Amino acid sequence: MSLIPWLEDLTFPPVDEAMDDPNGLLAAGGDLSPERLLRAYRQGIFPWFDDDQPILWWSPDPRAVLFPSDIHISRSLAKRLRRNEFQFTFDRCFEDVVAACAAPRSYSHGTWITDDMAEAYASLHAKGLAHSLEVWQGKDLVGGLYGVSLGQLFFGESMFSRVTDASKAAFVALAKQSEAWNFALIDCQIANPHLSSMGACDISRREFIDVLNLFADLPHPMGPWTFSINTGDMV
């Protein structure tokens, strides 16, 4: 940890000083205040750390993103969407979505979404800058995601699913609404097979920063969000 800068104020090191191994580790310390978080996202930086670690700040290269028009919908998911098995809302129960994302997973131990992290994003949500997308089956919350929006960009943080395809359906709904709002991209941070199968791709950190500089300061819809698309007709 002594090899990376320790934050003393709101200033982050240049992202091109991030480590190669582990990929993207840039700095440690500081806090999760709304001011620091917004400054981080605007510079292409995000927090990610475990309970027993200090706050760690990352800017990986390459960066996983989804261009909204590139969303891929599998045949099986398309069938479920056509049957209107799911209903979608924005910002109806932000804290419940974050709590569900923080819940233990069968394939991992612990969670990186600490209580302090949840409180920090709740503060951004209260400012209209962090948003949740909920997936419902009747009255049951079965999936969703949350993240931060700046300008015409959405920075995805986490998603969850309690029934098959619910998180994928959430990602489709986010992509379709983002496309309708002319958002440039959805930041997925680091690639994984789940996101790649739905159309996410890698771009260089420099290209990601160029997109940030073009789109992060443009006018954007503040919270609470509502859908302008017909979510029953996404395929």
Domain ranges of the chain: 6-60, 64-233
Q: CA–CA distance from 218 to each of 26, 164, 186, 213 (Å)?
A: 27, 36, 15, 10
**Four-way CATH pick for 64-233: 3.40.190.10, 3.40.630.70, 3.30.990.10, 1.10.579.10:** 3.40.630.70
CB neighbours of 137 closer than 8 A, spacing ≥ 6?
85, 86, 87, 163
How does pLDDT run across 166-222, given as a tens digit for each residue?
999 999 999 999 999 999 999 999 999 999 999 999 999 999 999 999 999 999 888
User: If we measure between CA atoms, which residue out of 93, 90, 96 comes closest to residue 225?
Assistant: 90
- Cα–Cα distance, 83 to 67 (Å, whole number): 26
Q: 6-60, which class in CATH?
A: alpha beta
pLDDT score at 105: 60
How does pLDDT run across 43-95, given as a tens digit for each residue?
999 999 987 889 999 999 999 999 999 999 999 999 999 999 999 999 999 99
pLDDT score at 109: 40
pTM for the structure as a whole: 0.95
Q: Is the pLDDT of residue 2 over 70?
A: no
User: If we measure between CA atoms, which residue out of 63, 93, 13 comes closest to residue 201?
Assistant: 63
